[in-house]
Structure formats: C-alpha cells, structure tokens
Amino acid sequence: MRQADIKVCYPMEMDYVTDFPYSHMDRRPRKRAKLAREIPQTQTHSKAYSGIYYGQEVGSVTSFGTSRVLPDYAGLSLKGLAEKGSPPWRDDDKDGHYMFALGENLTSRYKILRKIGEGTFGQVLECWDREMREPVAIKVVRSIKKYREAAMVEVDVLQLLGKYDRNSSRCVQIRNWFDYRNHICIVFEMLGPSLYDFLRKNNYRPFPVDLVRELGRQLLECVAFVHDLRLIHTDLKPENILFVSSEYIKVPDLKATSRSPKEGTSYKRLPKSSTIKVIDFGSTAHEQQNHKNNYIVSTRHYRAPEVILGLGWSFPCDIWSIGCILVELCSGEALFQTHENLEHLAMMERVLGPIPQHLLNRADRQAQKYLRGGRLDWPEGAVSRESIKAVLKLPRLPNLVMQHVDHSAGDLIDLLQGLLRFDPYRRLTAQEALRHPFFTREHYKRF
C-alpha cells in the first residue's frame, strides 16, 4: 500500500545519509526528494545580469505562520488594489518559502493563479502573464543563499539549452527570470502533468508498450541533446518529465475488467498527445567538474550503482535513470523501491545479475561497509527480514518485462540490459540507445 502524501526534505548539509526512515512507511513517497546535494560547492553562477527585477514593495511586514498559500482573498481586498499593485511585504516562512495569496501579483506582470508543485528548491506557481497573455509556470526559489545560487546555475543551464535548441530538444523552455523580494523566480512555459502524476491517477497501471517506446525515444533525444552540450541532468525521474498537454482520453482497461468482471468495465487514462518535456535542471552538472566521490546525485530509486559505490559518475548516470524509468512505465511501479544502499545494491543484483568484481574492487571507503570478502555483504548485512523479502520478491529483468508487455518484449529487454549495465563505460550512450531496434524496427506502431 502506498502512503500518498509524505513529503521528505533533507537538510542540504547532510551527505551520504540513508535517505528515508522507512520502517513504517510505504516504500515510495508521492514526491521523491533528492538528497542533500547535491549542489556542488564549486558551482558559481555567472551572467546573473539580465532580467533582474526588484518588485515594488508596499505595506508593512506581516507574518502568516506556516501556511504558504494564504486564504484566497482575491475577491475581497485585491479588488481594492490597483491591478498592478504589489501585495504587502510579508516574512518568508521558516524554510525561506515565499508567502502569497492566490490572485496576487508577482511583480506587476504576473498574477498568481494557483500553486502547482513544491520541491526542494521552492514552489512552482501557475501565473497569468499579462504581457504575453498566456499562463506560465514560475518557480519561486527559497530565499536561502545556497538555493539562490543553485537557481542561478539552473538559469544559466536553461539559457544555454535554449540557445542551442533548434528543433525542440524536449527540454522545458525558460521564458524569463527575475529577483523578487530576495526570491529568484524562473518563468517557464506552462506544461501538463508529470509521468508520475499520470501513473498515480491511473492507479499505477502500466502504460502500453507503444507509448513507452514513444516516451523513451523523446527522453533519449532530450538526454542526447543535453549530453552533447557536455551537461549531465543527474535527476531524471518520472516527476521531472511532463506531458506538454493535460488532455487525456479514457479507454476500457481490458486487463482490469477481466480480473474483476463483476465490478463492470474498468477504465484507464491515456494522454491525447505523447509529447513530453524534461524539467528541473537545478541539479545539472558540467562534465568538466570533478564528479569523483565528493557528492551523491539523483533521487534514490534512479541512482546508478557507480554513485552508490563512490566510483565517480558522469553521463552514464542519466542513462541508468532512464533504464529505471522505462521499467517503471511498463510495470507501473518504481523498479528499486528502497531507501538504503546495501538493500539497493542487492536489489540491483537480484534483477540484473552480479555486480562485476572490478567495480566492487574500486568501491570507496564509505561503500566498503556494504562488502565482505570482495562481494556484497548480502543477505548477512541486511537490516531486517523484511528487507531480505523485499529483495527476493523482485523478478529478473526479462521476467519482469514479460509480465507486463504483450509485444516487443525481446527488443525492450535487450535495450534495458544495455541501459542498465553496471559498468558505466559499457552502458549504452543516448545516441546508441536511439539506434536500438526497440526504436527503429519498421513494424512498430507509432503511438
């Protein structure tokens, strides 16, 4: 059973911690948080010159406690405010989040319509852009120095991606950015629900394999483009991949209906358009930075073995995440539902076979504690019987795919084995994966 709305936040200073106290919790929270970062200390922002806007502040300082979205008084007091007026100055909440009310202005250009999401970095608000007359998504970053600096790195990366994006790279487009009341605000094109939102709304029923192919192809195109610019996303996960449109159709779910015919026809949602874009370049790293074992990257379930073993990481860590994502889209469930390193490595071995000896031999000091006699200390080192059971429950990769996919299973298994190779040097690159028969075979239906 899933526990739907657990939000986990980690202090940025922590590193190499077990990322979730998992004893009485579902193995997967609704929004999977990244670890501490994971923000490389060496990163400095450059070009923080354009778009700076200091909103006009009026009114007195008011504190509104812990709730960030204030009551919607748009119909009351805002009526009295000039359309382009600024709301009164308020303190941020204790975590540095911006406090606002629906209907208020965020600078004179943007009107806040609703809150779409919240992440480690801040809140994402749907706003009406008065100048372009269209809705936009604005990430309002926490007013804390390290998040502000990381946001400027994200702005730089987004501007670089935008500069080279000739034929739609499938990366979210930045429209503008500004600094408002000590919050960096990044304005994005407005997109639809994430792949994770969609799976959740569908009760974690798998996507059809032809849709998985289409999503996988676009995702690899995006990552090939990002990697060509010598950038590594480092946080690919279903939450960070958004459908461009929110429209969907309902179709009968024949599998669910045949399982419980008495309950009548069961329906599942399919997107009207399969077009996706990748978001959240807040953790993106430059290839030339030193990614040895000084910090860890990725949200747990999508984290590559070289990151856990402290071998250093680079472009292949994105490819591993894509392998995990494709399995999840086919099965409906995250592949490695774990919150602990040794259990995670044991799960990888269960699904994919033994980790090559030469990789284990190079494990760093931190990771040595998961090994005994040169091998994984498993099941001896397991923290509980439940943990051993969770690992044993996992099928081998070919079986897992065949349980869920009705055609093209052979090609998909072969592709996944290439994306999920333990040795990062032997893992497929994004360009190689795009040439795989799973994507190129003529007779496959386009979704």
Ligand X SMILES: Nc1ncnc2c1ncn2[C@@H]1O[C@H](COP(=O)(O)OP(=O)(O)OP(=O)(O)O)[C@@H](O)[C@H]1O
Contact set with ligand X (CB under 6 A): 33-34, 116-117, 119-122, 124, 137, 139, 172, 188-191, 194, 239-240, 242, 279-280, 282
Q: How far is the CB of 384 from ligand X (least distance, A)?
A: 28
Q: Do residues 71 and 101 touch, judged by C-beta distance below 8 A?
A: yes
Q: CA 106 to CA 136: how far, in whole Å?
A: 12
Of 54, 52, 58, 114, nearest in space to 82 by CA:
58
Q: CA 223 to CA 203: how far, in whole Å?
A: 28
Nearer to ligand X, 285 or 311 (CB): 285
Q: How far is the CB of 262 from ligand X (least distance, A)?
A: 37
Q: How far is the CB of 186 from ligand X (least distance, A)?
A: 8
Name residues whose C-beta falls within 8 Å of residue 322's C-beta, 6 or more positions apart in sequence: 216, 219, 220, 223, 236, 419, 430, 433
Nearer to ligand X, 200 or 257 (CB): 200
Catalytic residue among 19, 92, 156, 235: 235
Q: CA 122 to CA 185: how far, in whole Å?
A: 9
Nearer to ligand X, 158 or 428 (CB): 158
Nearer to ligand X, 118 or 414 (CB): 118
Q: How far is the CB of 110 from ligand X (least distance, A)?
A: 14
> What's the CA dihedral at 36, 284, 113, 59 to 10 degrees?
70
Nearer to ligand X, 137 or 327 (CB): 137
Q: CA 373 to CA 344: how far, in whole Å?
A: 19
Angle at Cα 270 formed by Cα 265 and Cα 276, nearest 5°? Answer: 165
Complete DSSP assignment for 288-325: TS--SSSS--S-GGG--HHHHTTS---THHHHHHHHHH
Neighbours of 201 (CB within 10 A): 13
Q: How far is the CB of 112 from ligand X (least distance, A)?
A: 14
Nearer to ligand X, 11 or 264 (CB): 11
Name residues whose C-beta falls within 8 Å of residue 433's C-beta, 6 or more positions apart in sequence: 220, 319, 322, 415, 418, 419, 439
Q: How far is the CB of 349 from ligand X (least distance, A)?
A: 28
Nearer to ligand X, 273 or 417 (CB): 273
Q: Do residues 319 and 427 touch, judged by C-beta distance below 8 A?
A: yes
Complete DSSP assignment for 386-410: HHHHHHHTPPPHHHHHHHH-SSSHH
By Cβ distance, which residue is nearest to ligand X? Answer: 119
Q: Is 91 a catalytic residue?
A: no
Q: How far is the CB of 169 from ligand X (least distance, A)?
A: 15
Question: Catalytic residue positions?
Answer: 235
